[in-house]
Structure 1
Amino acid sequence: MSFIGDVCNALGDVALWTYEEASIYRRKRETQPLIEESEAASRLQGADYRHVERVSDITSATFSERYLMRNEPVIVADGLLDWPAQQLWSFNYFCEEFGDLSVRLQDAGFKPKDSVELRAYLKQIASLPEVELGCMSNELDYLRYTYDSFFKHLLFTWGFGHRVKTQSFSFLAFQRIQRHWGRPYFLPRSGYRIPWVQMGSLEPNKRMCQDWGLYFSAPGACTRLHVDGMRTNAVLCQVVGKKAGWIFSSSLEGAARTLAEGRSFAHSPAAANDPGGQADRIWRFDLEPGEIMLIPKGLPHEVHTLSPSISLTYNFVTSPEYDDYFKFKSARGPGWIASAPIAAALAFKSVYQKRAVSGSEAREEVSLV
């Protein structure tokens, strides 16, 4: 993209941020009635429980119409098509390229923890065995994003990251591995509000999108139930290792958080007012190497690492969905993260364990037929 295009898009970002700050974060929202734990458990027990649909060879138009605009999660099985990262990225690769760097780890709630040598950290988690979903450990924190300064972050966001001098692992990696990945083939080329791309096409490997990060996590690591900070769409690009977890419809936001934390949170507004208009629904996902999952805007989700994992993620909102996104965000406010994982809640364990048994029985019946 040209220098003029970068400047225009940067100005668009500034205008949008200013507008949202004035229109949303400083406006008082109506108080919603609280939902009790027993009612929350009943809501989740009665929810429609299904697996995230898996597709491949999907066009941008179909992806947008069937999933993005309906706020429906989906896994694109060939999502990393033509990404050299599939062949190049490994724990050894990052040890050789960046191993001497000092990095700051984060816990399951995104809070900064100790600084460690990257090489030592990667070798430690790469040696650990695979675990089953629900086997959680707090022994190892994960590496998601290493910060430098707010000004440098803005330069990366606006497409001027190649001019920045930094010792931040995230920023250095973004500069050096640009040729290893790019915009997934099924995402729209242009027409984005977040990040602002009304001129030219989105090149997420050259312009750092919101919440961009490389994730390195150990088996047993859990990113607790949460809604992303700006309630934007997220793409979780799985390069090495396996992940699994759950996504909840926005109508279950209060119930899921109540059950995870063991204290009352607000009722969610009616499903008709939510993006996609979904009734109570829980999606289970299993993410394999080479796949990309869309986590739609505003949906609570919890992610578990099953084997030593390297993934890449970033967030966005397209122009056609912006009005619904803005109204929903105005009603709900910013994102949040639960103080405890929902996988540890006994009432929720009974939900997914029961569904797992019924699902296996159904598969057995199909095979007998």
Structure 2
Amino acid sequence: MKREGLNLKEVDRVKNITKENFLKNYFQPQKPVIIENYINNWPAYQKWSLDYIKQVAGDKIVPLYDNRPVRHEEGFNQAHAEMKMRDYIDLLKSQPTKYRIFLWNILKEVPELQNDFEFPDFGIRLLKKLPMLFFGGKDSYTFMHYDIDLANIFHFHFEGKKQCILFDQQQNNYLYKVPHSLITREDIDFSNPDFNKWPALQKAKGYVANLNHGDILYMPEGYWHYMRYLTPGFSMSLRAIPRKPRNLAKAFYNLAIMRHFDVLMRKWKGQAWIDYKNKQAVKRTHQKAG
């Protein structure tokens, strides 16, 4: 079987950065970047670890997600399990697990954690009510997807190592995008793709980012991202609304129309709707990729 690497470039890595430099070299051209040293003076840089989160949020019941395929009977972002945070962190540290936490709002769940970080000034206004935490165990991963609001995302990584594969929206024709959704085919292993089964992926051009404790990954508007935890760890994301009118319009469509249409079709057609979309992802990609 033909298994080769994707066409990926290393994301630029810079030591700290000025607002002017960020806006000129990364935000305006919509190019990803990893920023080092920027948060070294935050209390979170020293304090935040899995053990610390266990200490301050151990009694919280947290929703857990794994990499099972989407089923028609599941709601939008419906959790697959739940447990106390302390038990989840014990699980992360004791053995590999597919269970992840995503979109965990720290302002709502543990407000005192906000005292450990600042909202950085990169020249674009961040949404201050939506700092979210993401946790994962060794070799757990997210499906390739982009965010429903096509936000500019700053992803701050804490503890361990994490790898992110990124594509911009111009690569859509090659990624086996599932229609009426925000994901690609869930059976694609982006860490080791089978090009016999998914030949169009060979034409996609993207980026790879390897994150360590304290690194910030900037993901521009609407970027596809696949994230794999190489070791147990967690990250925090801050976001800013898209600036490009086309992306703003697409975000509004996703939130106001696409999401609700998909839910309606799942209820009406059941699993046949999911199966239809997956088949269309292959058919449309092969037509567009040539």
**SS of residue paired to 2:209:** strand
Give distance in 1, aligned partners of 2:104 and 2:218: 24
Q: Secondary structure at the match of 1:177?
A: helix
CA contact (8 A) 1:128 1:308 kept: no
Decide whether aligned partners of structure 1 residues 113 and 54 sit closer, same or farther in structure 2, where only a CA change above 3 A counts. same
Question: Bigger radius of gyration, 1 or 2?
Answer: 1
Q: 1:146/1:80 Cα in 2 relative to 1: closer, same or farther (>3 Å)?
A: closer
> 2:237 maps to what in 1?
313
User: What's 1:98 paired with?
Assistant: 57
Question: Unpaired segments of 5 or more residues in structure 1?
Answer: 1-43, 130-138, 148-168, 196-206, 264-278, 340-369
**Which one of the candidate residues 145, 152, 168 is aligned to 1:226?**
145
Match of 1:242 in 2: 161
Q: Which residue of 1 aligns with 2:206?
A: 282
TM-score for both structures, normalised by structure 1: 0.55
| CA pair 331-98 structure 1, distance change in 2 beyond 3 A | closer
Any idea what SS the aligned residue of 2:87 has?
helix
Conserved 8 A contact 1:231-1:334: no
Cα offsets for 1:312-346 (capped at 9, x unmatched): 0121037xxx2xx222343685389999xxxxxxx
- Of residues 107, 114, 118 in structure 1, which corresponds to 2:85? 118
Distance 2:56 2:160 in 1: 20
Match of 2:31 in 1: 72
SS at 1:55 equivalent: strand
The residue number in structure 1 matching 2:278 is none
Moved over 4 A (4+): 335-339
Query: How many residues of Structure 1 are paired with residues of Structure 2 in the alignment?
Result: 227
Q: Report the counterpart of residue 342 of structure 1 in structure 2.
A: none
Q: Report if aligned partners of 2:175, 2:204 keep a CA contact under 8 Å in 1.
A: no
CA distance in 2, matches of 1:118, 1:331: 35
Cα 1:88–1:255 change in 2 (3 A) is same
Secondary structure of the residue that 1:246 maps to in structure 2? Answer: strand
Corresponding residue of 1:181: 117
SS at match of 1:224: coil
Question: Residue 257 of structure 1: SS of its match in structure 2?
Answer: coil
User: Counterpart of 1:145 in 2: which secondary structure?
Assistant: strand
Greater alpha carbon shift after TM alignment, 329-338 vs 64-73: 329-338
Normalising by structure 2, what TM-score?
0.69
Amino acid at match of 1:224: F
Contact 1:244/1:287, CA 8 A, preserved across alignment: yes
Helix, strand or coil: the match of 1:334?
helix
What CA distance in whole angstroms lies between the structure 2 residues aligned with 1:254 and 1:71?
Answer: 19
Match of 1:17 in 2: none
Structure 1 CA distance for aligned equivalents of residues 168 and 54 of structure 2: 39
Contact 2:150 2:241 in 1 (8 A): no
What is the deviation of 1:111? 3.2
Write the mapping of 1:136-215 to structure 2, written as runs, cut at 5 A: 139-146=97-104, 171-173=108-110, 175-184=111-120, 187-188=122-123, 192=125, 195=127, 207-209=128-130, 212-215=131-134
How many Å separate the matches in 2 of 1:299 and 1:93?
31
Q: What is the CA–CA distance in structure 2 between the aligned matches of 1:317 and 1:104, rounded to whole Å?
A: 26
Task: Map 1:235-274 onto structure 2 (within 5 A).
Answer: 235-258=154-177, 260-261=184-185
Match of 2:217, SS?
strand
Match of 1:296 among 220, 231, 235: 220
Contact 1:106–1:112 (CA under 8 A) maintained in structure 2: yes
Contact residue 174 and residue 204 of structure 2 kept, 8 A: no
- CA-to-partner distance for each residue in 1:189-227, whole Å, 9 max, x for gaps? xx63x64xxxxxxxxxxx313xx3111210111111011
Query: How large is the Cα RMSD of the aligned pairs?
Result: 3.2
Could you say what secondary structure the match of 1:261 adopts? coil
Task: Return the alpha-carbon distance in structure 2 between the equivalents of residues 262 and 219 of structure 1.
Answer: 19
Q: Matched residue of 1:96: which SS?
A: helix
The one-letter code matched in structure 1 to 2:28 is: M
List runs of 5+ in structure 2 lacking aligned partners: 71-76, 179-183, 188-202, 260-273, 276-290
Cα deviations across residues 70-113 of structure 1 (Å, max 9, x unaligned)? 11000001132311112111222122222122222233474312
